[in-house]
Structure formats: C-alpha cells, structure tokens
Structure 1
Amino acid sequence: MTPLLGGEALSLAYPMRTILDGVSIGVGEGDRIGVVGRNGDGKTTLMRVLARRTTPDDGRVTWRRDLRIGFLDQGDLLAPEAVVQDLVVGDRVEHEWAGDPRIRDVMAGLLGDVDTSATVSTLSGGQRRRVALAAQLVEDVDVLFLDEPTNHLDLEGVVWLADHLKRRWPRGTGALVVVTHDRWFLDEVCGTTWEVHDGIVEPFDGGYAAYVLQRVERDRQSAASEARRQNVLRKELAWLRRGAPARTTKPKFRIDAANELIAREPPVRDAVQLMQLATARLGKDVVDLLDVSVRYGDRTVLDRVEWRIAPGERAGILGVNGAGKSTLLGLVTGDVEASSGRVKRGKTVRVAALSQSLAELDPFADERVRDVVARQRASYVSAGKELTPSQLLERLGFGTGELSTPVRDLSGGQRRRLQLLMILLDEPNVLILDEPTNDMDTDMLVAIEDLLDSWPGTLLVVSHDRYLLERVTDQQYAVLDGRLRHLPGGVDEYLRLRETPPAPAGRDVPAPKPADPGPKRHAQRGGGPAGSGQERQARKDAVRLERQIGKLTAREAELERLMVEHATDAARLADLAAEHERVAAERERTEHEWLEVLEVLG
C-alpha cells in the first residue's frame, strides 16, 4: 500500500479534555476508512488534523507531494449569495462540465430537484447540504474527507452515494475517510474502521459488522467480570449474524468466530412475549385505516389506504420526501382527518411521537436532567428488570456528572436521548419515531435499539437510516403514489420498486417475491463470465437458495401476523409459535448453505 498521508505522535488537548494523545495513524492508496466513536471523542478533530485544517499541539502530519484533498464539513459553510452552479462547477463552461461523466453523475444523483441557477439563500437546509457534498464530489482528489455526508440524504440518496464512492476510484487507488453514524453505509463502503476513544485511535479490519465482531471479542478477552462480558454489542452481533443474509457476506466478516461468540446469545427480541404483553396493554384493536383517502384541494396525498395495525406490530415506513409519510402518521395520531374512509381507533390506545423537533424540552430548559426525569416516574421495567430513572439515563449514555446539568446545556444528541426517555416513562402503547437517529453516534444508537427491543407496544418508525429500520422493525411498508404497500422483501424491494414504473392503479397490489440482490453482486465480482462447471452450479444454487430464503422469510412474517391475531388463544398461539420456530430454523440453515455457496463464488 502506497502511503498518501500520515500523522506521527499527534497530541491535542483542550483545557478540560485530551482529544488525541500521541496518535500515529496513516492513510494509503485504496483505503476506505470509516471513523466511529462517541460524540465529542474527537472524530471530526482527527480528520481536520490529518487534512491540515487544525494544528495539533504536538506531532506532525506528512503528505505525499502534490496531494489533492477534498473535505466536507459537517456544518453549513456556504455563502448565502453564492449561485449553486458556481459552487459546484466553478468557472467551467457548460459544454466542459456537461461532458464530464463524473459531474453529470453527481448533478443527477444529488441535485435533480435543485435549481442550479438559484442562490444558496433560497435553498432548504437539506438542499444546501447536498450542494456542499456535490461541490466536493465533482473534484478530482486523491483523499476525500467526509464528515456526516448522509445527513439530509433520503434512503435512495444514501444508496446513490455509496455506489458513487465505490465506483469513484479504480481499485487500489484514491482514499476515503468518512465520519458517519449510518451503519449500513459503513458496511457498504468501508474496508477499515477507526474507533476514536480515550485519546487514541484503534483500527479494525472491515466495515461496521466486522468492527462489532472484533470489538466484542476485544471486550471478551479483556473482561474482568461477567457483567462486562455480557456487553450489549453481543446482542448487536447476534442480530448482524442472524439477520438479513447480505449483511454478513463481507469477505472480512469472520462467520465462524461470530457463531462461536453468539452461540448462547438469545434472539434480540422475544416476539411472542412482546406480542402477548402488547395485547394485554392494547387489546386486539390498535388503529385501523379502512379505505382511507386524504386530499388537499385537488391533490390526493393518500388514496384508499387499508392498514390494520396490530398490537405489538413493529413497522418501518419508507417513502420519498413529500410522499405522504407524515400524513399517514397523522391519521394514526389523530392529527389528520380523513377525506373519505374510516379510521377506527382502539379505546385503550395511547400514542406518543418522537418528533424531529426538540421543542418538547423547552419548558424544562432551566431544570436539571435528574429532576426532569424523576418527575415522570419512579421506576421503569425493561426486559423484566426494574430500573430507576438514573439507571435508565446511564444506560442511554448519561454520566453521573451530567445528571445535574441543566437541559439547556445538553448537546443535541443528549437532548434527543432525554426526549425519548421522557416519552417511554410516560408509558404510551403506540410509539412513533420520526427520524430518531439525528445527532446520535453509533454507540448511542445501539443503546436505544437495545432499549426498544424490550418495549412491549406498537412501534412505527420513519427513517432514512436503513440499518435502524431493519434493526428495530419486523415489517416494512412504503408510501408509493399515494398507496400503502407492504414490502415482504424489505428495503431492497422498496429500492427496486422505485426503479421500476408504477403498477396500474388498483387495490392491494401484491408485492413481488423478495430477492436480495446482494448475492448476484458477489457472484459477478467473484467470477466474471461462467467458468468451471462447479462455478456454474454454484450460481444456480445461489439463485435457488435466494428464492427459498425469500419464501421462508415471507412465511415467518405471515406466522408472526397470525400469532398477533390469535394472541388470546393459548393453544393456537403455541402451535403457531412452534411452526414459527421450525421455519426460522430452516431459514437459518438455508442462509448458512447460501453463504457457503457464495464462498465458492468468491
């Protein structure tokens, strides 16, 4: 690996905190590095030091001669009076930049809805962010530093960016260093992960999944007690290994080691127990949308939507901005009136929503965190254990000293966590999360997901964070052309539907059978044109096993729906649960066989 830049014995401290303490690290040709760590531990500072934007107190940064650097700041630094086109393509004449495939790709991928002749002052916050990102991506640089590039990108935008970065440089050339809390993006793009903590930078081989595996193994080896060994990341690792097959096909994700570490780790959620608890709290009726349409003037936002939300259902809602997701959730909360059709709401339903705004905390700005939480409830039960508010705060990353901090002095991520905790302590039985990942680092997202795993209610999540959706929800739906469509194939199916023309209008259009495109990409990468007979047979087996996994996954979902429907019939529920266990075991065996086939294909 040819070195491009490096830092030697880097140290940097502020009056009350050491950020870097004798760090030596390097970036070479072909590196694709994801930087993770808790908020405030120095991820952005490390990038700025390596990019020579911040001078360390000690140590030195060396660059290869004539090195070209690109840097995307997390904040908005665009001049309000600047014209979009000038910021992105500079003084290039139109025929020059229009003839450059990279610039055309970036303009189409990020700025399709932006008037490039407009000034920055007329753009929304999300559009400004995409303009800043586009301005960096059109440049021909050797090392690209990106600080939270997925902020304000929708799901399709994140997928586009990942694909662009994978194609940007020929293999083994160029370098990427990216700070992001988007774990799917880390897995998709990065081959190395740097964890910044306690003044050091610890490198891990692989993306997020491999990082979790190695970190769990590190903690296990250094554990001094059983409590330390049972790190919450073990459950995260179990989900990564048992979840969507494509997530564990990264070549550097050591499957055997993962299996050994999680052999006795239970599933992340006890679905049957949670459904029984949810039914006890909610009854059989939650919210039913029956042939509901919503119109604003001549515009139809939702058209004849049929959705019967079950007790204990955990659903993710997908759709582009403006598709009608917020309107759909407004029907559930009662904030939106249906133009036609009927909304039937259970008598015991208590809905709470974690909105994108933090305005709910404004009345408590001058109060200490401990006092605000203690006023809500004296205790909270999670996974069968009774926790005090202080223990819950600690579980969500609040240190002892921070409990006495006034709410107004909390960081954005801390305020977000406090907002969620106050909602949970109020004990709703239907919880709506609207873009809950804002201002969160990866460790805090894991902690929140762990807390939600034991929450016995109906959970509806709207998020552009693909990893979060797949992690905390069991079913996904999409708002497409005013209709609500179930997605048995999950996010991959949604992306395929967005790429194809809409189906003819009609009620309850059946979803296509799920087929994860991941194996096909791996198969093509491994062999090129058909080679040996063994490889040809492996390709056929991969396709066959894909279909089988899709069928088994759909059957699992159907059994889960039936378990909710028969939650009060003990005998029927036991039969369904037993079949569900058999189907899940068969799916896991099929996935294992599928992974072995992929090894043959490389």
Structure 2
Amino acid sequence: MSTLIAAEGLGHGYHDEWLFKNLTLGINPGQRVALVGINGAGKSTLLKLLADRFSPLEGKIVKNKAVKIGFLDQEPSFPDGYSISDFIFSLENKQQQLIKEYEELIEDPNPDEKTLNRLYEELSEHNAWEYEHEIKTILSRMGINHLQQKISTLSGGQKKRLALAKLLIEDPEIYVLDEPTNHLDIDTIEWLEKLLTSGNKTILLVTHDRYFLDNVCNTIVELDRGKIYNYNGNYAFFLEKKSEREASDESTFQKNKNLLKKELEWMRRMPAARTVKSQSRVNAFYDLEDKTKQRSDNQKVTLNVKMSRQGNKILELNHIGQTFDDKKIINDFTYVFKRGDRIGLAGKNGTGKSTLLNIITGFLEPEKGNVDVGDTTVYGYYKQGGLAFNEKERVIDIVKSDAEYIKMADGQTISASALLTLFLFPPKKQHGMVEKLSGGEKKRLHLMKVLMQNPNFLILDEPTNDLDIDTLNVLEEFLENFPGVLILVSHDRYLLDKMSEQLFIMEGEGNVSIYNGNYSEYRISLDTPKENPSTKKTTFEETKTASPTKKLSFKEQKELDEIEEKVAEKENEIEELTKLLGMIEATDYLKIQETSAKIDLLNKELEVVMGRWVELSDKTN
C-alpha cells in the first residue's frame, strides 16, 4: 500500500523546549487516524507540520506533490474583506464559479430571467446540478445561509463551521482536522460522522469527542512524551492496549528504579579516579538515570475543591420570556431547581442555550418573568468562550489574583502554587507566561478558576472543547461525585449520557421542553413512532385482565401463558445489565460496549416475543 504522506525524523519545539524529536509516521490511503495525547504534547503542531503549514526544525515531510491536503485549523483565519461566497467558491473551479453565480442570483428577489436561463443551461452542460445540491447540503448543515455576508461579522463558532464547510466541499485526498466537532450541534456531528466514513477517505484528526473518535477512526496514534505509539483499531481497542503498555512500562520503571538505587550506591563507593574498565558502567548509570527521570508518574488532574453549603431554596425560574430581534428565544418557561439536579441543555445552534444560561446566572435580565435565587446559591460558570487572560501575565499571578490559599474538599487549605500542581501545572509553567500555554492548558486553567469559587451550582458550557481526554475522564469523575446542581451544555454525547438525568430541550421558536432521561434515551424516543390515542394498543397488563381467550387452540393458549414468564425474565435481565452499565468505569470502553450490545440484543428478543404476544392477543378479541 503506497503511503500518501510520511514524517521522517521529525522534530519541533517552542521557547527552547522540544515537543518531540525523531518522530516517524506514515498515513496510507483509507486510514482514518486519530492523534491523541495530553494537552501540550504537540498534537496541533504535528497536524500543522503534516499539513505543510510550516517547516519542522528537524526531519522532513514526504508526500506526492499531486496529493491535495485539506487542513482545518483549531482557530481558522480568513482573507480580509472576504464574503462567505468569496471564500467558499474557488476561482479555479468552473463548476463552483457557476454555482456561486447561480446562488447569488437566486438570493436576489428579482433575478434577471435571461441570466437565470443561461445559468440553468451552463450548469446542465457542466453536470453541476448534483454538485450544487451537495454544496447546498453542506452549507445548510453548517448553518451557512447568506452567502453575501462578510466573514468579519461572523462569530468564532460560525467561522470554524465555515472553514469546515469549505474543506468538505473541496473533498481533498487527505483530511487533516483539528477538533472538527467544536461548535457543532449533535445532529450535525452525527451527519459529519456518516460523511467522513463514506467512501474511502483518508483522515488525520485530533478530537476529544469519544463517540466521534470511536465511530470514525480505525487507527489511533498516541503522542506521549515526545514518542509515537501506533494502535490499529478504534478507541476502545486503543484503551485496552494502552493499559497493557502502561503496565509493562510500570514494571520496567520499577526494575530500573531498583537498579538505579544499587548503581547509585556503587557510584558513591567508587574512588574519584575511576578506571577505564569502570567507565562503561558509569555511562550506563547516567543512561539509566535519564530514562528514570523521563518517565511520567502518571499524574492526573485532581478536582476536589470544597463546595459551598446549599440551602433549601436554590433557584426558581418563573414564566421566563425572551426575544431578540422579534425572534422568540424562550417562551413562558418555568422550573424550580432541586438539590442534586443534573440537567443537560440540548438543542441546535442558535436556539437559545447561552441565553438561558445568562438569564439563570443573572448576566441577562429576562424581558418577562423573574429569576428567584436562593441566598446560599454560589454559581460556578464555565463559559464556552473561555476567559480573556492577559497573555503577558504569569500563570501563578492569575490564580493568586483570586486567592493565595484555597480550601479543599477534605478541609485542608493549600497554596495557589500547590493547587496549580494538582491541575498539572508544574513550577516551570506556573512561573511562565500565559502565552506559552496550549489552547487546552488555557481551558484547564479556566476550569480551575471556576472551581476555586467553591460553587454549589455548576454550569459547564461546552467544557470538552480543547481539553484532552485524560482531563475529561477526571472531570467526569469529579462531576459524578459533585453533590450540587449541575447544568451541562455539550456536544459530547458520551458526557451528556453519563452526567445528565434530565434534559432541557431548546426546540426553537421559544419552546423549552423537559425530558426525564439522558441524551441517548431522548434520541431513541424521537425515533420511536408516537401512537395516536384513538389507535393505542392494549398494554400487556391490560390484556392479562381482559376477558378469557375464545379463539386460541390449546397449543396457542399454552404459548400465550408462557410468554408472561419470558417477558419477565428478559425485563429482569435488561434491568440488571442497565444497573451494571451505570457502575462500569468511564474508561472501560470495551466493557461498556459489551454490556450495551447485550442490552440491545435482549431488547430485540423482547420485541420479537411481544410481537407474538400481540398476534395471539388479537385472536382473543
């Protein structure tokens, strides 16, 4: 299989520090590769090097000149003064230029008839109608409707979606995507998954979205302490193999540590004038010391700050109404928050999720209704846009501006420096400038500042954007044990499923509905046909109490009697497995998948049994 792009002896770094050295990596046609690693490991840098955005300090990138690479940056830039139309449609592509002219013309309330007819003919002549439909579908999915709008007027999320739309339209030989699901709603993410897995696309991506990663990628490449580890399989396979590697690394480390201790004693006993014969052992000692120093102690972010006391009255929303530009955003919404509420906020982009959060936290006064906040309620609001840090300020000074000492959940008080260390900011980074932090590290610092406020009402608006998966796992563990109220806005379906027990659904046109259950359960409910009350089927329990059967044979009657036992058995099995699913560790993806598959199989078997029950029951009427 011919390699489309390869890195040979690659090395790069910033601020006199190497991110990685001597990396070798090849990508073959049809591979869909996910690059994983902790924040600051160099994932985005490696993507940019492979996409030829700049040259490496060491090594080279080898690729066929004819291979077209499409790159989606985490924060894309655009030419000054461009409209959406100018950016989307390539001057070198005749089909695209015809489509551009056609789309701009039909936006005109009074299009020129002659020009329109000419474009019809030319689009047909160049077989561009199907292409035009594909482009419109992509733009519509990304929420791009007004082609004449200037790019400078778009929000950061809209710009990211615009850059992704252009890349999908161009359909390059290699897709290089840095956090492609950021700023997409869940419906669009699911559509994107299907698009990227259709055909034989070659993809290299960085994403924190574990469902997306598992559904799209067939190869995982881990960047860990400057080294590359390859895993041919999906994310669940990677987790299994990584745990095996780490167990092996731990065993090797302990052996090296014990050996280093013995060698250190030998070094101390050696006379100052060492013989030539001993020099090889001296060199081996220093090599062993370097290996032991380089080994990570598998540190994790520690989230255990103290929660403020919460009273009986928490928060009440009374008949909230809000409009913008005559458009209804929220219409007569009422809710009384209770202790332990875990609410997921779901809905398409632009339906008003951020507006509702701003009303809840008091950043926005509602046009109608009122917000009644309890005396003891302390908000912790992690905003999607992040904090506007002073890039020239030291990391530790940013934390000290809030507090020199912080109270932890166990009652201990620790310094700002110690807390930063728990959040994986070592002393060198603490005393460095914010500008030297990666995007994910800045988000981690933002999260830390929010939790320092000791909130009992925690609001997380897209907390997964740019955070590495290891930090997300720790965040999930913290949220599972968080006793206060939680409101979560996230396009990360895994996080929504695990953390929410209730949903506020922003349906558009001001409607906010409440669903009891998590996101996957909600999606299943949407796919289940709603019954007309007039044609509602008799329930199993109702049939049991109905009049005795009259038209069943002896064999059929026996079968109907046995169905009740079968239904009870399968329902009990499903209930036990569902309980087990909730107890499985978040990182044990294989066990989660295996248990979910068993539940799906039992549900299908139950459906067959119930189908036969309905068939037999109908004969008795």
TM range (shorter): 0.5 to 0.7
1:73 is the counterpart of 2:68: no
Deviations 1:66-113 (A, max 9, x none): 433322233323213334334333242222543225434323322x43
Question: Which residue matches 2:37?
Answer: 37
> Residues 502 and 517 of structure 2 are in contact (CA less than 8 Å); yes or no, is this contact kept in structure 1?
no
Where 2:4 maps in the other structure, the secondary structure is strand
List gaps (5 residues or longer) in structure 2: 100-122, 255-301, 533-565, 583-591, 606-621
Distance 1:302-1:401 versus aligned 2 partners, 3 A rule = same
Distance 1:370-1:342 versus aligned 2 partners, 3 A rule = closer
Whole-Å Cα distance in 2 between the matches of residues 177 and 122 of structure 1?
A: 30
Give the CA deviation at 1:196.
Answer: 1.4
Give the CA deviation at 1:550.
Answer: 9.0
Name which of 183, 188, 195 aligns with 1:152: 183
Give the CA deviation at 1:480.
Answer: 1.6
Give the CA deviation at 1:321.
Answer: 2.9
Distance 1:478-1:387 versus aligned 2 partners, 3 A rule = farther
Whole-Å Cα distance in 1 between the matches of residues 402 and 150 of structure 2?
A: 48
Whole-Å Cα distance in 2 between the matches of residues 3 and 418 of structure 1?
A: 39
Deviations 1:474-501 (A, max 9, x none): 4332122323323345324555788999
Deviations 1:547-566 (A, max 9, x none): 98599969x99xxxxxxxxx
Whole-Å Cα distance in 2 between the matches of residues 377 and 42 of structure 1?
A: 31
Q: What amino acid does structure 2 have at the position aligned with 1:105?
A: T
> Residues 345 and 504 of structure 2 are in contact (CA less than 8 Å); yes or no, is this contact kept in structure 1?
yes
Name which of 446, 471, 479 aligns with 2:473: 446
Question: Which residue matches 1:28?
Answer: 28
Question: Which residue matches 2:378?
Answer: 350
Name which of 96, 120, 139 aligns with 1:107: 139
Whole-Å Cα distance in 2 between the matches of residues 210 and 226 of structure 1?
A: 24
Where 1:223 maps in the other structure, the secondary structure is helix
Distance 1:84-1:407 versus aligned 2 partners, 3 A rule = closer
Question: Which residue matches 1:463?
Answer: 490
Q: What amino acid does structure 2 have at the position aligned with 1:139?
A: E
Whole-Å Cα distance in 2 between the matches of residues 501 and 113 of structure 1?
A: 31
Q: What amino acid does structure 1 have at the position aligned with 2:49?
A: V
Give the CA deviation at 1:369.
Answer: 0.8
Question: Which residue matches 2:216?
Answer: 189
Q: What amino acid does structure 2 have at the position aligned with 1:486?
A: I
Deviations 1:112-160 (A, max 9, x none): 4331233433433333322222222122432221222223222222222
1:3 is the counterpart of 2:3: yes
Whole-Å Cα distance in 2 between the matches of residues 122 and 189 of structure 1?
A: 33
Whole-Å Cα distance in 2 between the matches of residues 12 and 23 of structure 1?
A: 10
Distance 1:588-1:360 versus aligned 2 partners, 3 A rule = closer
Deviations 1:263-321 (A, max 9, x none): xxxxx999xxx9xx98x932333223344444568554322323232212222211223
Question: Which residue matches 2:172?
Answer: 141
Where 1:26 maps in the other structure, the secondary structure is strand
Question: Which residue matches 2:249?
Answer: 222
Question: Which residue matches 1:414?
Answer: 441
Structure with greater Cα Rg: 2
Residue range with higher mean Cα deviation, 305-314 or 30-39: 305-314
Give the CA deviation at 1:57.
Answer: 4.4
Deviations 1:374-410 (A, max 9, x none): 8626343347887654443223221121222355765
Question: Which residue matches 1:282?
Answer: 310
Where 2:183 maps in the other structure, the secondary structure is coil
Whole-Å Cα distance in 1 between the matches of residues 136 and 485 of structure 2?
A: 44
Root mean square deviation of aligned Cα: 4.5
Whole-Å Cα distance in 2 between the matches of residues 350 and 426 of structure 1?
A: 8
Residue range with higher mean Cα deviation, 51-60 or 21-30: 51-60
Question: Which residue matches 2:599?
Answer: 594
Whole-Å Cα distance in 2 between the matches of residues 425 and 376 of structure 1?
A: 8
Distance 1:13-1:595 versus aligned 2 partners, 3 A rule = same
Whole-Å Cα distance in 2 between the matches of residues 35 and 433 of structure 1?
A: 25
Residue range with higher mean Cα deviation, 24-33 or 481-490: 481-490
Whole-Å Cα distance in 1 between the matches of residues 427 and 179 of structure 2?
A: 29
TM-score (norm 2): 0.66
> Residues 318 and 462 of structure 1 are in contact (CA less than 8 Å); yes or no, is this contact kept in structure 2?
yes
> Residues 377 and 425 of structure 1 are in contact (CA less than 8 Å); yes or no, is this contact kept in structure 2?
no
Give the CA deviation at 1:194.
Answer: 1.0
Distance 1:591-1:128 versus aligned 2 partners, 3 A rule = closer
State, as a whole percentage, how many aligned pairs show the same letter: 32
Residue range with higher mean Cα deviation, 69-78 or 21-30: 69-78
List gaps (5 residues or longer) in structure 1: 228-267, 505-540, 558-586
Question: Which residue matches 2:461?
Answer: 434
Whole-Å Cα distance in 2 between the matches of residues 21 and 226 of structure 1?
A: 22
Q: What amino acid does structure 2 have at the position aligned with 1:333?
A: T
Deviations 1:196-238 (A, max 9, x none): 12222111233333333332332233225999xxxxxxxxxxx
Question: Which residue matches 2:558?
Answer: none
Distance 1:107-1:321 versus aligned 2 partners, 3 A rule = closer
Question: Which residue matches 1:483?
Answer: 511
Whole-Å Cα distance in 1 between the matches of residues 168 and 325 of structure 2?
A: 41
> Residues 8 and 59 of structure 1 are in contact (CA less than 8 Å); yes or no, is this contact kept in structure 2?
yes
Where 1:437 maps in the other structure, the secondary structure is coil
Question: Which residue matches 1:577?
Answer: none
1:425 is the counterpart of 2:452: yes
TM-score (norm 1): 0.68
1:205 is the counterpart of 2:237: no
Distance 1:407-1:68 versus aligned 2 partners, 3 A rule = closer
Question: Which residue matches 2:205?
Answer: 178
Distance 1:149-1:45 versus aligned 2 partners, 3 A rule = same
Give the CA deviation at 1:433.
Answer: 1.7
1:381 is the counterpart of 2:412: no
Q: What amino acid does structure 2 have at the position aligned with 1:306?
A: T
Distance 1:2-1:105 versus aligned 2 partners, 3 A rule = farther
Residue range with higher mean Cα deviation, 311-320 or 368-377: 368-377
Deviations 1:395-435 (A, max 9, x none): 32211212223557655433433333233222221111222
> Residues 570 and 602 of structure 2 are in contact (CA less than 8 Å); yes or no, is this contact kept in structure 1?
no
> Residues 144 and 162 of structure 2 are in contact (CA less than 8 Å); yes or no, is this contact kept in structure 1?
no
Q: What amino acid does structure 2 have at the position aligned with 1:103?
A: I
